[in-house]
Structure 1
């Protein structure tokens, strides 16, 4: 199990001062592609000076593709981790590009044995380029590949066993996949190697046309918090972090969301 982080929030430049003011922010996460290691935002320097851990969270590495991870992207993640004094780096188990063309989304990886071999090698390359542990996040999906031979939880389990990579479990993504694909979140929790959990993501979204969209722009549904509680009944997560990426509410609303998360994660 990773080191204890507590309850946190995704740092965004639009809410930098809010994040500094919120009560009980134990750690933050910053999108790695949005920062320069040699010119960190003042707010992140303030938080670091307070002893708040800052985790770089990548969205473009693409360990789920057939091509090896780009060395420049890996070097940037490593530089971010060093500049921030980060305890780890996180990314997604996702397919994002092929042949130089960007998908524009975090797409699910074909969950076959052959694909697992490729992803294992990609993850090992990433681990070799980083001086801190790497954690990979499960993604929200609108479809599954017809050739899938295993569930995402089984795929992640095989990846953890082969590489020792840590897990970033996004319970909002589990909820998305339950609503859109009929994949029960509790079944995933029963299979995921939660002993290798680094931290947890929680976020809100909305339903449109019977499809759940994981937008990170609304309050966290009770159903997502229920999945968080199910996870916490199985393991004491090192950290739980709220993601909110646009349509930012008041400071009080964000504080309320953190309080709801803390309550749902409490092990009574």
Structure 2
């Protein structure tokens, strides 16, 4: 799979020693169809070109019956769906040169067929695949808000030691639902949730997602400062599993390259 020349901003980031992590949105790991090997190969090649310590993808499906949804759709939390998801994750991992972190999405609905709660589903998925967790606290907040549930209750039941890194993003309420927009400021409730997470398990890294409607530089810097304060970045973060001496570049129990002192 061919990857073209890196965009200049990415080249500059790499020259400055900034870690760049490819973040997939099209593998459709939760789909009933087999994972598209061309898409996995492209993600793998991106990781190699960027010298990334890991890649990430969403726990979602984006196509069915050959039709592309154009959106991340939630997986039914059933035993059968979990088995399919595990198989697809293992297929993807076999082709990736680095570990895979999985991100639970912000879902606007749940399936009536659900057999497990989210914490149980995620824990078994990570146990069976050896994948890492990309925890988006904005997604946790969105799901809890839309389901009238307590967001902190989920954090207390997740395998936080499996966190590779954390996402934070802004959102807005429309039509009675909270939408994870990535174009609005991070609300105080999400920052509070980040603080709650950091008190339980200080994450190795926190990334602010912003996909558009960029504010003036001073405002963006203030938002980054607020995120850093909420994450207690003055403390020493948890050691990233990919920086441990001899730490696995792939999932535990799988052969793979060893990491450098990055991240």
Decide: shared fold, TM above 0.5: yes
Residue 144 in structure 1 maps to residue 110 in structure 2: yes
Q: Which residue number corresponds to residue 181 of structure 2? A: 215
**1:122-150: CA deviations, max 9, x gaps?**
00011101010000101011110001011
Q: Which residue number corresponds to residue 246 of structure 1? A: 212
Measure, in 2, the Cα distance between the counterparts of 1:109 and 1:183.
19
Measure, in 2, the Cα distance between the counterparts of 1:173 and 1:128.
28
Q: Does the CA-based 8 Å contact 1:38-1:83 persist in structure 2? A: no
Where do 1:1-268 residues align within 5 Å? Answer: 37-266=3-232
CA shift at 1:60, angstroms?
A: 0.8
Measure, in 2, the Cα distance between the counterparts of 1:79 and 1:266.
34
Structure 1 or 2: larger helix share?
1
Question: Structure 2-normalised TM-score?
Answer: 0.86
CA RMSD of aligned residues (A): 1.2
CA shift at 1:231, angstroms?
A: 0.7
Deviates more, 1:245-254 or 1:81-90: 245-254
Measure, in 1, the Cα distance between the counterparts of 2:226 and 2:205.
15
Which consecutive unaligned segments of at least 5 residues does structure 1 have?
Answer: 1-35
Question: Structure 1-normalised TM-score?
Answer: 0.85
Measure, in 1, the Cα distance between the counterparts of 2:121 and 2:82.
7
CA shift at 1:194, angstroms?
A: 0.8
CA shift at 1:38, angstroms?
A: 2.7
CA shift at 1:209, angstroms?
A: 2.5
Which consecutive unaligned segments of at least 5 residues does structure 2 have?
Answer: 236-263
Return structure 1 stretches of 4+ with deviation > 3 angstroms: none
CA shift at 1:238, angstroms?
A: 0.8
Measure, in 1, the Cα distance between the counterparts of 2:23 and 2:63.
18
Count of aligned residue pairs for this structure pair:
233
**1:22-52: CA deviations, max 9, x gaps?**
xxxxxxxxxxxxxx73310111111111111
